[in-house]
Amino acid sequence: MADLSPADAEFLGQDLPALARVDVASSIYSGQQGQIEYRAAGNPSNAAVLMLHGLGSSSAGYRAQFAGLSRDFHVIAWNAPGFGGSSPIPGQDAKIDDYASAVEGLLRALGVRRLAALVGSSWGSVVATAFARQYPALVASLVLSAPNTARGHLVGDTRTAELNAWLRTADVNIPVSRAAIADRLLTPDTPALVRQHVERLRDAMTTQGWRQAIRSTFTVYTPDIISEVRCPIAILSGTRDQVAPQQDHAERLLAAAPRATSYPFEGCGHILKLEAPSKFNAVVREMAAQAK
Residue 224 predicted with pLDDT over 80 = yes
pLDDT attached to residue 292:
64
- Distance (Å, rounded) from C-alpha 24 to C-alpha 33? 6
Q: Are 172 and 181 in contact (CB under 8 A)?
A: no
245 pLDDT exceeds 90? yes
Give the percent of the chain with pLDDT over 90. Answer: 95
Per-residue pLDDT band at 147 (split at 50, 70, 90): very high
Q: What is the pLDDT of residue 240?
A: 98
Q: Give the Å distances, CA to CA, from 243 to 36, 77, 182.
A: 27, 22, 11
What residues pair up with 142 in beta bridges, in sequence order?
A: 118, 233
pLDDT for 59-73, tens place per residue?
999 999 999 999 999
Chain segment 80-124, per-residue pLDDT in tens: 999 999 999 998 789 999 999 999 999 999 999 999 999 999 999
Mean pLDDT of the region 34-56: 97
Answer yes or no: is pLDDT of 290 > 90: no
Share of the chain above pLDDT 70, in %: 99
Average pLDDT (26-55) is 96
